[in-house]
Amino acid sequence: MATKEYAGKTVNVSEDGYFTDASQWSREVAADMAKEVNLELTETHYKVLEFIRDKYNTGGSLTIRSIGKSGIASIKEFYKLFPGAPLKKATLLAGIPKPASCI
């Protein structure tokens, strides 16, 4: 298993960079990771990341639709917050394994 260093902490990651242990995540770690994808995290970004982590920890299904209904950001805003492939990028920064979601 690969490891990476973010904000001075060593974390376990999968081949494509996703966390394999969600408990190794922190806001500082996320901020450091965000630099790799040229993002500067705002409070809204963190709210989305925490929503995603919460979904993951409670075993809920994570879809773009559920984020749109979270009240944090509309789907349009979500695409703007994490440009490109938003669900992939957001789950990467949220420190959870790669999402297995089709919607």
Active site residues: 102
In whole angstroms, the minimum distance from the beta carbon of 78 to other proteins comes to 8
Alpha carbon distance 15, 75 (integer Å): 29
Residue in this structure with the two tokens 């709210």, named with its chain if needed: 47
Nearer to other proteins, 11 or 67 (CB): 67
For residue 36, state whether it binds other proteins (rule: CB under 8 A): no
For residue 58, state whether it binds other proteins (rule: CB under 8 A): no
For residue 75, state whether it binds other proteins (rule: CB under 8 A): yes
Q: Are 12 and 21 in contact (CB under 8 A)?
A: yes
Residues 86, 91, 93, 96: which binds other proteins (CB under 8 A)?
86
For residue 103, state whether it binds other proteins (rule: CB under 8 A): yes
Residues 26, 63, 70, 97: which binds other proteins (CB under 8 A)?
63
Site of interaction with other proteins (CB under 8 A): 61, 63-66, 68, 74-76, 79, 83-88, 102-103
